[in-house]
């Protein structure tokens, strides 16, 4: 049973390391950009902005990915959940240009019997400036969301 906990911890550690690396690279770029600001002003500012973007992406995506991984594994024993899902509702954005599908996930641990559920919003369709509708494959997005590869 401890092996399952190790898998969950391994997945979280790997994800944190990846996004922490991106954040550190961004911070280094931002620092170099600030140092170059006096000598090569335009280049330094651009490099600093790119670094800040890396930092923002690293922090935001890292937190999102860790949350996703925690939802895929049982919090009690670390075993991967068996997940079933269904669309619970659809809604439009305030401007009417986007349609969202709300998927409800029911998770059951085959190892210890722990059960949990959560709802996540996915973009189902959007309308561009010319009025053209683009439909997105929500089922593919859901499958990508619940799949974790080591």
Nearest 5°: the CA angle 64, 47, 51 is: 20
Domain count, the chain: 2
Last residue of a domain, one of 48, 72, 96: 72
Residues 63 and 87 grouped into a single domain: no
Please, which pLDDT band fits residue 1 given cuts at 50, 70 and 90?
very low
Residues 64 and 35 grouped into a single domain: yes
Answer whether residue 87 is part of any domain: yes
Residues 93 and 135 grouped into a single domain: yes
Residues 54 and 107 grouped into a single domain: no
Q: How many CB atoms lie within 10 A of CB 19?
A: 20
Residues 64 and 102 grouped into a single domain: no
Q: CA 121, CA 101: separation in Å to the nearest integer?
A: 6
Answer whether residue 7 is part of any domain: yes
**Does 150 score more than 70 pLDDT?**
no
Residues 7 and 45 grouped into a single domain: yes
Residues 124 and 63 grouped into a single domain: no
9/81: higher pLDDT: 81
Domain that holds residue 65: 2-72
pTM of the complete model: 0.67
What one-character DSSP code corresponds to residue 81? P
Q: For 100-127, how does the pLDDT look when each residue is reduced to its tens digit (9 = 90+)?
A: 999 999 999 988 899 999 999 999 999 9
Residues 61 and 102 grouped into a single domain: no
Residues 20 and 68 grouped into a single domain: yes
């Amino acid at each position: 049973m401890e092996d399952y906990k190790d898998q969950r911890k391994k997945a979280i550690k790997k994800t944190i390391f990846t996004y922490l690396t991106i954040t550190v690279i961004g911070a280094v770029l931002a620092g170099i950009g600030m140092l170059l600001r006096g000598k090569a002003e335009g280049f330094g500012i651009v490099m600093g902005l790119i670094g800040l973007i890396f930092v923002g992406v690293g922090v935001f995506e890292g937190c999102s990915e860790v949350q996703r991984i925690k939802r895929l594994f049982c919090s009690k024993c670390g075993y991967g959940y068996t997940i079933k899902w269904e669309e619970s509702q659809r809604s439009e954005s305030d401007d009417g240009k986007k349609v969202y599908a709300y998927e409800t996930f029911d998770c059951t641990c085959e190892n210890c019997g722990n059960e949990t559920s959560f709802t996540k919003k996915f973009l189902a369709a959007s309308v561009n400036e010319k009025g053209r509708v683009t439909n997105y494959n929500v089922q593919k997005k859901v499958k990508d969301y619940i799949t974790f590869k080591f």
